[in-house]
Amino acid sequence: MSIITISRGSYSRGKEIAETVSERLGYKCISRDILLDTSDKYHIPEIKLIRAIHDAPSILDKFVYNKDKYINFVQSTLLNFLKDDNIVYHGLAGQFFVKDIPHVLKVRIISDMEDRIQCEMERENISYDDAKNILKKDDEQRKKWSMNLYGIDTTDPSLYDLVIHIGKISVSDAADIICHTVAKEQFQTTAQSQKMIDDLALASEVRSMVFNINPNIGVFAFNGNVHIQTKAREIQEEKLVEEIKNTASTVKGVKNVTVEVQPVAFYAD
Q: Which of 261, 267, 145 is nearest to 213 (CA)?
A: 261
Q: How many other β-carbons are positioned within 10 Å of the β-carbon of residue 147?
A: 13
Instruction: Tell me which CATH code domain 191-263 carries.
Output: 3.30.1340.30
The listed range with the strongest mean pLDDT (10-14, 22-26, 57-61) is 22-26
The pLDDT tens digits for 200-250 are: 999 999 999 998 888 888 999 999 999 999 988 888 888 999 999 999 999
Cα–Cα dist 86/101, whole Å = 14
Q: Cα dist. 129→50, 87, 107, 142 in Å? A: 26, 37, 30, 20
pLDDT value for 59: 42
Backbone angles phi, psi at 134, to 5 degrees: -65, -45
pLDDT value for 65: 53
Backbone angles phi, psi at 183, to 5 degrees: -80, -10
Which helix (H) or strand (E) covers residue 233, if one does? none
Cα–Cα dist 47/30, whole Å = 18
Which architecture characterizes domain 3-187 according to CATH? 3-Layer(aba) Sandwich (3.40)
Q: Cα dist. 188→107, 129, 237 in Å? A: 16, 45, 44
Tell me the average pLDDT of the chain.
Answer: 86
The pLDDT tens digits for 132-189 are: 999 998 888 878 777 776 777 888 889 899 999 998 899 999 999 999 999 999 999 9
pLDDT value for 267: 47
pLDDT value for 48: 74
pLDDT value for 47: 76
Query: What does the domain layout of the chain look like in residue ranges?
Result: 3-187, 191-263
The pLDDT tens digits for 66-121 are: 667 787 888 888 898 888 889 999 876 677 888 889 999 999 999 899 988 998 89
pLDDT value for 34: 76
Within 8 A by CB and 6+ apart from 229, the residues are: 217, 218, 219, 220, 259, 260, 262
Q: Please state the three-class secondary structure of 146-177 as a single string.
A: HHHHHCCCCCCHHHCCEEEEECCECHHHHHHH
Q: Which of 144, 152, 136 is nearest to 58 (CA)?
A: 144
pLDDT value for 67: 67
Confidence of residue 27 (pLDDT cuts 50, 70, 90): very high
- At 255 the three-state DSSP class reads coil
Q: What is the pTM of this model?
A: 0.83
pLDDT value for 138: 85
Cα–Cα dist 203/224, whole Å = 9
Confidence of residue 265 (pLDDT cuts 50, 70, 90): low
pLDDT value for 62: 47
The pLDDT tens digits for 34-78 are: 767 777 777 777 777 776 766 655 544 444 456 677 878 888 888
Q: Which of 13, 268, 236, 253 is nearest to 115 (CA)?
A: 13
Mean pLDDT of the 17-37 span: 88
